[in-house]
Amino acid sequence: MTVNILTIKCPQCSSIKHSSLGNDKYKCESCGAIYFIDKNEQHIYIHQQNQSQETLEVNKITNFKILGLLGCLIPLVLVLYFYLTENSNDIDPVIESDSYQSTISSSEINKIKKEEWTHKNIKMFVDNETPFLIMESKLHVEDPDLFAQSKDQFFIKIFDFNAKQFVSEFNVTDDNNKKISYEIKTWDQDEILLLINNQKLYQLNKKNKTFQDVEQRFFTNHTEFSQGLAKIEFVRPQWGSGLYVYTNKGKHFYYYPMIDKLYDEDAFYNARDGFKSLPANASTRISYQFDLESYDYPDENHQLIKYEYKYLPGFPREEPMFRWRKIYDNPSNQAVVVIYENTPFKKLLIHPTKKNDSRIIKYADFTPDRLYFFPKLLTFNDDAVLIAFTTSPVKTENYIVQLLNAKNTDIIFSYNFPFEFKQLNAEITKDHILLMTEDHFIGLNHEGKQDFLLDIQSLNSRE
Domain shared by 263 and 199, yes or no: yes
| 148 domain-assigned | no
Q: Are residues 253 and 298 in the same domain?
A: no
Identify which has the larger pLDDT, 367 or 85.
367
Which of residues 14 and 459 earns the better pLDDT score? 459
Strand 440-444 and strand 461-462: the pairing is: unpaired
Confidence (pLDDT) at 111: 55
- The predicted structure's pLDDT at residue 9: 74
Report the SS3 class of residue 303. Answer: coil
pLDDT digits (tens, 9 = 90+) for 368-382: 999 999 999 999 999
- pLDDT-derived band at 334 (thresholds 50, 70, 90) equals low
Q: Say whether both 325 and 263 belong to one domain.
A: no
Higher pLDDT, 455 or 344: 455
What pLDDT is stored for residue 461 in this prediction?
85
Which pLDDT score is estimated for 12?
76
Q: In this model, does residue 432 exceed pLDDT 80?
A: yes
CATH of the domain at 396: 2.40.10.480
Say how many domains are in the chain. 5
Helices marked H in 253-411: 265-271, 352-357
DSSP string, 7-59: ----TTT----EEEEETTEEEETTT--EEEEEE-SS-EEEEEPPPPHHHHHHH
The candidate with the shortest Cα–Cα distance to 443, out of 451, 126, 423, is 451
Tell me, yes or no, whether 384 and 334 share the same domain: no
pLDDT tops 50 at residue 94: no
- Pairwise pLDDT comparison (430 vs 73), residue with the higher score: 430
Residue 338: pLDDT band (50, 70, 90) is: confident
User: What percent of the chain clears pLDDT 90, i.e. is strictly above it?
Assistant: 62
Quote the pLDDT of residue 193.
98
Residues 243-278: tens digit of each pLDDT: 999 999 999 999 999 999 999 999 999 998 899 889
pTM greater than 0.75: no
Provide the mean pLDDT of the chain.
84
- Same domain, yes or no: 224 and 261: yes
Could you tell me the residue range of the domain that residue 215 belongs to? 181-271
What is the percent of the chain with per-residue pLDDT over 70, rounded to a whole number?
78
Same-domain check for residues 74 and 23: no
Q: Which of 321, 339, 371 marks a domain boundary?
A: 371
Shared domain for 408 and 423, answered yes or no, is: yes
pLDDT of residue 87: 52
Same domain, 415 and 351: no
**pLDDT value for 459:** 94
User: Does residue 408 sit within a domain?
Assistant: yes
For residue 165, the model assigns a pLDDT of 95
Asked whether the predicted pLDDT for residue 10 surpasses 90, the reply is no
- Of residues 18, 16, 38, 37, the one with CA closest to residue 27: 18
> Among 53-57, 241-245, 302-306, 391-395, whose mean pLDDT is lowest?
53-57
Give the residue from 326, 350, 371 where a domain finishes: 371
Residues 228 and 251 in one domain: yes
Going by pLDDT thresholds of 50, 70 and 90, the confidence category of residue 64 is: low
Per the CB < 8 A criterion, the answer to whether 134 and 144 are in contact is no
The pLDDT of residue 285 is above 70: yes
- Whether the CB-CB separation of 322 and 363 falls below 8 Å is answered with yes
Q: Is residue 167 domain-resident? A: no
pLDDT over 50 at 2, yes or no: no
**Co-location of 378 and 463 in the same domain:** yes
State mean pLDDT over 280-308: 96
Residue 108 confidence (pLDDT) above 90 = no
* Amino acid residing at 99: S
Higher pLDDT, 4 or 16: 16
Which of residues 310, 336, 371 is at a domain's end?
371
| CB-based contact 185:193 (threshold 8 Å) | yes
Closest CA to 12 of 31, 37, 39: 31
- Specify whether 367 is located in the same domain as 377: no
Domain membership of residue 174 (yes or no) is no
**What Cα–Cα distance (Å) separates residue 141 from each residue in 38, 107, 132, 178, 461?**
83, 14, 27, 13, 12
